[in-house]
Amino acid sequence: MSKTLEVVNPYSLAPVGHVTTSDWKGVNALLETAHTLFRQSNSRIPAYQRITILKKVAHLMEERFEELALQIASEGGKPLVDARVEVKRAIDGVELCVHEIGQLTGREIPMELTEAGSGRIAFTQREPIGVVVAASAFNHPLNLIVHQVAPAVATGCPVIVKPAPDTPLSCLAFVSMLYEAGLPQDWCRAVICDNAVAEQMITDTRVGFLSFIGSARVGWMLRSKLAPGTRCALEHGGAAPVIVAQDADINAMIPLLAKGGFYHSGQVCVSVQRVFAPKAKAKEIAQKLADVATALKVGDATDPTTDCGPLIRPAEVDRVEAWVDEAIAGGAKLIAGGKRLGATTYAPTVLLDPPSDARVSQSEIFGPVICVYTTDSTAEAIETANSLPFAFQAAVFTKSLETAMQAVHELDATAVMVNDHTAFRVDWMPFAGRRHSGYNTGGIGYTMHDMTQDKMAVIKLV
């Protein structure tokens, strides 16, 4: 049975909107409609029309720029200054989809390499993979939706998107703009539903591709239950490591590490979490990070002067508090923060040398906490950085090309940033986790490739 879900500001917990949830009967009907659309190949929207629709969407987003940014801050708790950056990225992502439509090309397959192939020509084309189901996360409530939904629209796949229940309003705004731009509604539907209905939808045999952004526990569970033939991309989290070499420019490094660790109060899958520093410099680095941390303003994300907003739910504040308290009890030195500031906020925190078995050292904290560890060598730092089952993005700070290339070669990560923080990203680059951190590759062009498949024609010449 459908219900009404209240959406609240995660700082004040005051209502900012409400949405209607869907039961399985409603979702099943949407799946059947989407599957029928896909099977009727003659009804697919031609590329030039998809281009026109996406260009109009980008224009509508530009017109509603401040409205979208305020909505991100209101429902997701991302500071307004960063919410504006998210809107800009989302617009760029839609425009990138337009560009990538022209890159979805096939190729000629040489046939006369053997006698058996002689007298034939062959070529491939890219065609839509099927119904896309996208399950999204709360931390980038507009840009993640763009990364999952716009590529489906661009490739001609019907798509059903399930936004995070904490942040559905930005998703609904984007889907509404797709309709306004001319996309027939049956080609993109947003559903807000409980986990049981979501799992039933995701594992249905009519689903061609699953795009999932969320926890590793849920992502791997869903992958194990996918119907035969369903392809997927899973984006989970990590505990991003930073290697600091002896020759690193510390003063240049500190603002980058602070931004990478405290941006969106650490609620980013590649947020700076573990900083491995030489013994002679670790305390200095921790103190300089602490100086930045204590100067940050924590509060309501809709206040333009706020640097760090709330955590998404009060229970997350409880969890981060418990993890930090555990680390301090185990011997970590508290350099800054280490306390809740209210029911919904936690102070930007710097810890020096937490125990290796503490949860802040072993798992993704997804909160405003940076841990600095004393190490004896770059080799030791890399070995420790690689010791967890997570492998996403990493970083190294050094003036030495040799050290930089050692880190690039030896760090278990899909991307290694040299003299930059771990959370750096542009939306056309590959973005992916290894091992527990994910499966397949994100990034607009990569996602569009995954949402299409090759079809080959072999023509025998008469």
404 membership: H or E segment, kind and range: helix 401-410
What is the Cα–Cα distance from 225 to 222, expressed in whole angstroms? 5
The whole-number pLDDT of residue 300 equals: 96
What is the Cα–Cα distance from 126 to 116, expressed in whole angstroms? 26
User: Contact, 233 vs 133, CB < 8 A?
Assistant: no
The whole-number pLDDT of residue 41 equals: 83
Closest listed residue to residue 218, CA positions, set 240, 202, 230: 202
- The structure's pTM equals 0.93
Break the chain into its structural domains and give their ranges.
4-236+437-460, 240-428
What is the Cα–Cα distance from 138 to 123, expressed in whole angstroms? 42
DSSP classification of residue 214:
S
Grouping H, G, I as helix, E, B as strand and the rest as coil, residue 386 is coil
Burial status of residue 362 (CB atoms within 10 A of its CB: 0-12, 13-18, 19 or more): middle
The whole-number pLDDT of residue 369 equals: 98
Active-site residue numbers?
A: 235, 269
What is the Cα–Cα distance from 141 to 168, expressed in whole angstroms? 7
Place of tokens 């991100």: 72
Closest listed residue to residue 178, CA positions, set 94, 240, 110, 109: 94
Q: What is the pLDDT along the chain (462 residues), one digit of tens a residue?
A: 668 999 999 999 999 999 999 999 999 999 999 999 999 988 899 999 999 999 999 999 999 999 999 999 999 999 999 999 999 999 999 999 999 999 999 999 999 999 999 999 999 999 999 999 999 999 999 999 999 999 999 999 999 999 999 999 999 999 999 999 999 999 999 999 999 999 999 999 999 999 999 998 999 999 999 999 999 999 998 999 999 999 999 999 999 999 999 999 999 999 999 999 999 999 999 999 999 999 999 999 999 999 999 999 999 999 999 999 999 999 999 999 999 999 999 999 999 999 999 999 999 999 999 999 999 999 999 999 999 999 999 999 999 999 999 999 999 999 999 999 999 988 888 888 889 889 998 999 999 999 999 999 999 997
Helices (H), 330-377: 359-362
Q: How many whole angstroms from its chain centre is CA 236?
A: 8
The residue count of the chain comes to 462
DSSP classification of residue 413:
S
At residue 219, φ and ψ (nearest 5 deg) are: -60, -50
Q: 188-190 and 207-213 as β-strands: parallel, antiparallel, unpaired?
A: unpaired
What is the Cα–Cα distance from 425 to 92, expressed in whole angstroms? 13
What is the Cα–Cα distance from 289 to 254, expressed in whole angstroms? 6
What is the Cα–Cα distance from 440 to 63, expressed in whole angstroms? 34
CATH 3.40.50.300 fits 240-428, yes or no: no
Q: What tokens were used for 177?
A: 């703009």
The whole-number pLDDT of residue 271 equals: 93
Inter-CA distances, 63 with 17, 59, 60, Å: 22, 6, 5
Sheet strands (E) in 214-361: 231-235, 240-244, 272-278, 333-336, 349-352
4-236+437-460 maps to which CATH number?
3.40.605.10
The neighbour count for residue 215, using CB atoms within 10 Å, is 14
Closest listed residue to residue 309, CA positions, set 271, 347, 270, 351: 347
The whole-number pLDDT of residue 430 equals: 86
What is the Cα–Cα distance from 53 to 55, expressed in whole angstroms? 6
DSSP classification of residue 418:
E
Q: How many whole angstroms from its chain centre is CA 235?
A: 6
Helices (H), 226-313: 250-262, 282-295
